[in-house]
């Protein structure tokens, strides 16, 4: 009988999943990738096989899929129909916050779950949904081991100065430090750099993860040296609905002068700011780029301005850079944003090749460019799958399992 591993990335309105299969004595391979979007509003299920061909695309019953549990039930139904009789060897989860203690992926136990729950206030938009999916799987498949992979782990090991929050020690002792996020994405990019861009892989690289959440990571020799997200996923770059770096005096003003409650402020900071706040119309970069409205233009201008500023700051931290890598929704798909960021960072030595950029080739800088620029599609799920396989291999006393998947840019190393 074939063994399967399932990877889950549970968010507030979507449940993304991957199914990896391990035919007897072979490496793991991607069987299906998909998502349930619009949970609670107009749920829709879609999935593709490992070759990118459509397996399913259908709307779901809104009453049945009104929350994460309903979405998981719908996914379980599809898995039963598609892979009936197969053994689920393990479930790997994206968990956004691992706090100071979880410096790597971990097998989930009730004790681990309690520790992760205590971190919910540090990632209120993500962590509760990540953990609800773990609970829901545990109820339905109590004997199947689950693994948590953290967005913060890749950044542990940064120099002490990069982790400091300069507040009194007794406050910092309660866990107030800079953690950094998008670590699974950065870990994937770091894992493929030697294949995709061997000349710069061991050098000084800024990776720009530009999606609805956005951050930069400064890497030296594929290790995180600093990043723009800090204690929570609110710092740094302007994001879809989050402001990025903000004078803390603004937050005081909201409380003291505008009389807002903590819950109001949380909603403003996580859901109403950033591109949506500035434009007043959309958090989606595609809408804003297509719009001629002055506020939509201002939102895009600010996104580029802020990212340019932060690229400069991380370049200073690294003492200059050898490469800039774009990834995630905007980074992978928007030649315009890449072009504007490369032009604004030309002073660093980036000479972009417009044709390569338009085509989204892996290398988008000219051959003589002192600093090279790249587009590398991220694959957080593959990183989760690798860790899940490795940990389950240890649990069962076997060699760590191996995963493989087709990618556009390179053969992924197992």
Interface residue list for ligand ADP (CB under 6 A): 211-213, 240, 284-286, 289, 328-330, 333-334
Nearer to ligand ADP, 371 or 384 (CB): 384
Give Cα separations from 391 to 7, 9, 394 (angstroms).
14, 18, 5
Active site residue 151: yes
Contact predicate 125/40, CB 8 Å: no
**333/404 with CB nearer ligand ADP:** 333
CB 31 within 8 A of CB 24: no
For residue 371, list its beta bridge partners: 350
Radius of gyration for the chain, computed over Cα atoms and rounded to the nearest angstrom? 21
Minimal distance in Å, beta carbon 158 to ligand ADP? Answer: 22
Beta carbon of residue 341, minimum distance to ligand ADP (angstroms, whole number): 13
Nearer to ligand ADP, 41 or 109 (CB): 41
Write down the residue that tokens 């749920």 correspond to.
Answer: 43
Of 220, 187, 192, 216, residue with least CA distance to 322 = 220
Comparing CB distances to ligand ADP, the nearer of 378 and 404 is 378
Which is closer to ligand ADP, CB of 307 or CB of 401?
A: 307
Joined together, the tokens standing for residue 174 give 């309660």
Least Å distance, CB 287 to ligand ADP, is 8
Q: Determine the Cα–Cα distance for residues 42 and 79; give it in Å rounded to an integer.
A: 21
Q: Which residues on adjacent β-strands are paired with residue 95?
A: 150
Q: Which residue is nearest to ligand ADP (CB)?
A: 329
Rounded to whole angstroms, how far apart are CA atoms 131 and 241?
22
Which residue, 260 or 289, is less far from ligand ADP as judged by CB?
289
Q: Of 57, 61, 114, 151, which one is the catalytic site residue? A: 151
User: For the purposes of burial, counting CB atoms within 10 Å of the CB of 383, is it exposed (0-12), middle (13-18) or buried (19 or more)?
Assistant: buried
Question: Is there a contact between 137 and 10 (Cβ–Cβ < 8 Å)?
Answer: no
Q: Which of 217, 342, 334, 247 is CA-nearest to residue 284?
A: 334
Least CB distance to ligand ADP at residue 401 (A): 26
Please state, in angstroms and as integers, the Cα–Cα distance from residue 96 to each residue in 105, 231, 344, 379, 407, following that order. 12, 12, 31, 15, 24
Smallest separation, CB 145 to ligand ADP (Å) = 26
Instruction: Please give the helix or strand (H or E) that residue 326 lies within, else none.
Output: strand 323-327
Nearer to ligand ADP, 217 or 371 (CB): 217
Q: How many CA atoms lie within 13 A of 59 on its CB side?
A: 7
Q: In the complex, what is the shortest distance from the CB of residue 76 to ligand ADP, in angstroms, rounded to a whole number?
A: 23
Integer Cα distance of 228 and 206 in angstroms: 11
Provide the β-strand partners of residue 326.
208, 375
Measured distance CA(131)–CA(185) in Å, rounded: 20
Report the nearest approach of ligand ADP to the CB of residue 118 (Å): 25
Q: Which residues are catalytic?
A: 151
């Amino acid at each position: 009988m074939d063994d399967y591993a399932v990877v889950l990335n549970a968010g507030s309105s979507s449940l993304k999943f991957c199914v990896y299969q391990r035919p007897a004595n072979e490496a793991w391979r991607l069987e299906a990738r998909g998502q349930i979007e619009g949970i609670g509003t107009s749920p829709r299920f879609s999935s593709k096989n490992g070759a990118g061909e459509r397996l399913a695309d259908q709307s779901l019953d809104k009453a049945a899929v009104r929350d994460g549990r309903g979405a998981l039930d719908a996914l379980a139904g599809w898995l039963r129909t598609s892979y009936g009789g197969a053994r689920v060897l393990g479930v790997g989860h994206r968990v956004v916050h691992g706090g100071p203690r979880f410096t790597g992926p971990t097998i989930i136990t009730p004790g681990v779950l309690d520790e992760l729950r205590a971190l919910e206030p540090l990632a209120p938009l993500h962590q509760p949904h990540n953990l609800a999916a773990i609970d829901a799987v545990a109820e339905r498949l109590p004997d199947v081991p689950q693994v948590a992979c953290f967005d913060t782990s890749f950044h542990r090991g940064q120099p002490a100065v990069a982790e400091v929050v300069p507040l009194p020690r007794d406050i910092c002792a309660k866990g107030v430090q800079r953690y950094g996020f998008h670590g699974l994405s950065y870990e994937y990019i770091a894992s493929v750099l030697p294949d995709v861009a061997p000349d710069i892989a061991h050098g000084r690289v800024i990776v720009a993860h530009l999606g609805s959440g956005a951050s930069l990571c400064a890497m030296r020799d594929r290790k995180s040296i600093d990043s723009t997200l800090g204690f929570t996923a609110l710092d740094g770059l302007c994001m879809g609905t989050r402001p990025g770096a903000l004078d803390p005096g603004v937050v005081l003003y909201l409380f003291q002068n505008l009389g807002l409650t903590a819950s109001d402020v949380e909603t403003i900071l996580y859901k109403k700011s950033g591109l949506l706040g500035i434009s007043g119309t959309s958090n989606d970069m595609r809408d804003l780029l297509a719009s001629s409205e002055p506020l939509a233009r201002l939102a895009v201008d600010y996104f580029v301005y802020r990212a340019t500023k932060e690229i400069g700051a991380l370049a200073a931290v690294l003492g200059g850079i050898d490469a800039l890598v774009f990834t995630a929704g905007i980074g992978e798909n928007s030649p315009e944003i890449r072009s504007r960021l490369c032009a604004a960072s030309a002073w660093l030595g980036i000479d972009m090749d417009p044709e390569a950029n338009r085509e989204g080739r892996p290398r988008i800088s000219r051959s003589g460019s002192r600093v090279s620029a790249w587009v590398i599609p991220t694959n957080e799920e593959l990183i989760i799958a690798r860790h899940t396989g490795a940990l389950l291999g240890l649990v069962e006393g076997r060699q760590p399992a191996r995963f493989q998947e087709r990618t556009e840019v390179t053969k992924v190393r197992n």
